[in-house]
Amino acid sequence: MKLELGHKSDFEIRREIHGCAGKTDLRILYMSDLHFNRYSGKIAAKLINAVSETNPDILLLGGDYIDSRKGLPHLEKLLDTFSGREHVFAVAGNHDYYFGIDAVKKLVTKYNISWLEKETAHFTIRGVRIQVDGNRIGDTNTETDLRLLCLHKPIALKKFAGRYAVCFAGHLHGSQFVFHENEHGLFPGRFFYRWNILRVKSGNCSYFISKGLGDSLPIRYNCRKDVILVHVNSENKQFEIRPLQESDSIEELTQLLHLAYSKLAEQGFRYLASHQDTSVTRRRVEKGICFVAVAENKIIGTLTCYEPGRAGGHPWYARADVSSYGQFAVHPDRQAGGIGSALIRHAETLAAKQGAKEITVDTAEGAAELIRFYEKRGYRFVDHAQWTETNYRSVLLSKKLSG
Q: In the complex, what is the shortest distance from the CB of residue 95 to Fe ion, in angstroms, rounded to a whole number? A: 6
Q: In the complex, what is the shortest distance from the CB of residue 302 to Fe ion, in angstroms, rounded to a whole number? A: 35
CA 5 to CA 219: how far, in whole Å?
Answer: 5
Q: In the complex, what is the shortest distance from the CB of residue 92 to Fe ion, in angstroms, rounded to a whole number? A: 11
Of residues 39 and 392, the one with the C-beta less far from Fe ion = 39
- Under a CB-based contact definition with an 8 Å cutoff, are residues 305 and 292 in contact? no
Cβ within 8 Å of residue 12, ≥6 positions away: 224, 225, 226, 227, 247, 297
Instruction: Let me know the angle formed at the C-alpha of 227 by 226 and 231, rounded to the nearest 5 degrees.
Output: 130
List of E strands, 127-193: 128-134, 146-150, 166-169, 178-182, 185-188
- Under a CB-based contact definition with an 8 Å cutoff, are residues 4 and 12 in contact? no
Handedness of CA 274, 278, 279, 284 (dihedral sign): positive
Of residues 33 and 145, the one with the C-beta less far from Fe ion = 33
Buried b (16+ CB within 10 A) or exposed e, 179-195: eeeeeebbbebbeebeb
Q: In the complex, what is the shortest distance from the CB of residue 75 to Fe ion, in angstroms, rounded to a whole number? A: 14
Q: In the complex, what is the shortest distance from the CB of residue 401 to Fe ion, in angstroms, rounded to a whole number? A: 51
Q: At what angle do helices 250-266 and 278-286 cross, to 10 degrees?
A: 100
Of residues 64 and 248, the one with the C-beta less far from Fe ion = 64
Of residues 64 and 117, the one with the C-beta less far from Fe ion = 64
Q: In the complex, what is the shortest distance from the CB of residue 66 to Fe ion, in angstroms, rounded to a whole number? A: 11
Of residues 33 and 133, the one with the C-beta less far from Fe ion = 33
For residue 198, how many other CB atoms are within 10 A of its CB?
Answer: 20
Of residues 64 and 348, the one with the C-beta less far from Fe ion = 64
- Under a CB-based contact definition with an 8 Å cutoff, are residues 209 and 169 in contact? yes
Of residues 121 and 213, the one with the C-beta less far from Fe ion = 213
Query: CA distances (Å), 45 to each of 22, 48, 77, 244, in order?
Result: 36, 5, 9, 20
For residue 235, how many other CB atoms are within 10 A of its CB?
Answer: 10
Residue type, 96: D
Q: In the complex, what is the shortest distance from the CB of residue 70 to Fe ion, in angstroms, rounded to a whole number? A: 18
Q: In the complex, what is the shortest distance from the CB of residue 68 to Fe ion, in angstroms, rounded to a whole number? A: 14
Q: Which parts of this chain interact with Fe ion (CB under 5 A)? A: 33, 64
List of E strands, 222-264: 226-233, 240-243
Q: For residues 194, 196, 197 and 201, what is the CA-based torsion angle, rounded to 10 degrees?
A: 40
Q: In the complex, what is the shortest distance from the CB of residue 106 to Fe ion, in angstroms, rounded to a whole number? A: 20
Of residues 56 and 170, the one with the C-beta less far from Fe ion = 170
Of residues 226 and 248, the one with the C-beta less far from Fe ion = 226
